[in-house]
Structure 1
Amino acid sequence: MKNFVGKTRENGARDSVVILEDVRSVHNVGAIFRTAEAAGVSKIYLCGVSPAPFDRFGRVRKDFAKTALGAEKIVAWEQVTDAGAVIRRLKKDGYFICAIEQTPRSVDFREIPDGKNVVYIFGNEVLGVSKTVLDTADLVADIPMCGRKESLNVSVAVGIILYSRYR
């Protein structure tokens, strides 16, 4: 815990932003909000079909609130249709863009450079991050799998990646 506390944004750690591209499950997105808040993420962009804390009529999504446990009231978030436009803007603002996906060009997530403001992009539970978005990334990283399953739940992957910033 000391290592994590010693690197909070207030003490000079770099900024982290999360982009969720077409993450479909409201439970996954709620859990990601909770983890992101705990890890000090400054903003979450909900792209495509990724559900927001409120439905299209402005009503609170109870299933979202149940998993986010109030984090949706703390972490800044924005719902956008085009992930590419957000990525271009953040890249122009000096952010390092890192897509988390299993591809032939992926590197181990422990190779994500330290000392930069980073945007982490996570994709759909089945299809992953789109090729269009992968092509805009400065780096594509994955989490090595030791078992027979090929992937983790997206909310679990978010936790591993976000807390790796504090190594």
Structure 2
Amino acid sequence: MVKKLKLEELNRIDVETFKHTEKIPLTVVLDDIRSMNNVGAVFRTADAFVVEKILLCGITPQPPHREIHKAALGATESVDWEYCDEVSEALKILKEEDYHIFSIEQTTGSKTLQEINISKSQKYAVIMGNEVEGVSEEALALSDGFIEIPQFGTKHSLNVSVCAGIVMWEFFKNLK
């Protein structure tokens, strides 16, 4: 008979061990995200896939906050993060540090997630845009490429945190 594993049976690492664990070379940039639930969920997923950092830009709310914590479940303590008032400034710094920057956005130049060649020798940043407006024009202009997740139903978009989870998983599979 199958049984659920208890928390202590999952052999999870503690925050201090996580801080010293090798991360995948991926930074997630949140560009004017409004929802604290989305921010918290991105933190939690970034912890699961050992993402190196999250950049919170513009109006994106920052920890500590009760609403972020409810979704993050402590991941704001494990995942490194920084706040940058202007997304363009954050992206310029990433470019100086040789990151390949992808906007997660439906554009005339976007490729599907499975078409992207993810190399272990490269550092990446992925930009998640505002829930209504998407990735800002400033961020699009500084992007090296554009990724979209194929969808086959009636809706034209995914929730930001769901989209971020799919993208982080794809990068994790290729970079770990």
Please classify the TM superposition score into its range, dividing by the shorter chain length: 0.7 to 0.9
Q: SS in structure 1 opposite 2:138?
A: helix
Asked if residue 144 in structure 1 is aligned to residue 154 in structure 2, the reply is: no
Q: SS in structure 1 opposite 2:141?
A: helix
Inter-partner Cα distance in structure 2 for 1:131 and 1:144:
22
Pick one of 85, 91, 97 that aligns with 1:81.
85
Pick one of 23, 31, 34 that aligns with 1:21.
31
Q: CA deviation at 1:65?
A: 0.7
The TM-score normalised by the length of structure 2 is: 0.82
Paired position in structure 1 for 2:16: none
Inter-partner Cα distance in structure 1 for 2:147 and 2:26:
16
Q: SS in structure 2 opposite 1:159?
A: helix
Please identify, of 112-121 and 63-72, the stretch whose mean Cα deviation from structure 2 is larger: 112-121
Inter-partner Cα distance in structure 2 for 1:110 and 1:40:
21
Paired position in structure 2 for 1:103: 107
Inter-partner Cα distance in structure 2 for 1:30 and 1:95:
24
Q: CA deviation at 1:135?
A: 1.1
Inter-partner Cα distance in structure 2 for 1:139 and 1:145:
19
| Structure 2 counterparts to residues 109-148 of structure 1, below 5 A | 109-115=113-119, 116-148=122-154
Inter-partner Cα distance in structure 2 for 1:29 and 1:14:
20
**Structure 1 segments of 4+ aligned residues over 3 angstroms from their partners:** none
Q: Which runs of 5+ in 2 are unaligned?
A: 1-20
Q: SS in structure 2 opposite 1:113?
A: coil
Name the larger-Rg structure: 2
Pick one of 48, 63, 67 that aligns with 1:38.
48
Inter-partner Cα distance in structure 2 for 1:14 and 1:78:
17
Inter-partner Cα distance in structure 2 for 1:66 and 1:132:
31
Q: Which runs of 5+ in 1 are unaligned?
A: 1-8, 55-60
The TM-score normalised by the length of structure 1 is: 0.86
Paired position in structure 2 for 1:154: 160
Deviation string 1:97-154 (CA, Å, 9 cap, x unpaired) is 0110011111101222312210010000010001121011000110011100001000
Paired position in structure 1 for 2:3: none
Inter-partner Cα distance in structure 1 for 2:46 and 2:141:
25
Q: CA deviation at 1:72?
A: 0.1
In the alignment of these two chains, the number of paired residues is 151
Inter-partner Cα distance in structure 2 for 1:103 and 1:24:
22
Sequence identity of aligned pairs in percent? 42
Q: SS in structure 2 opposite 1:53?
A: coil
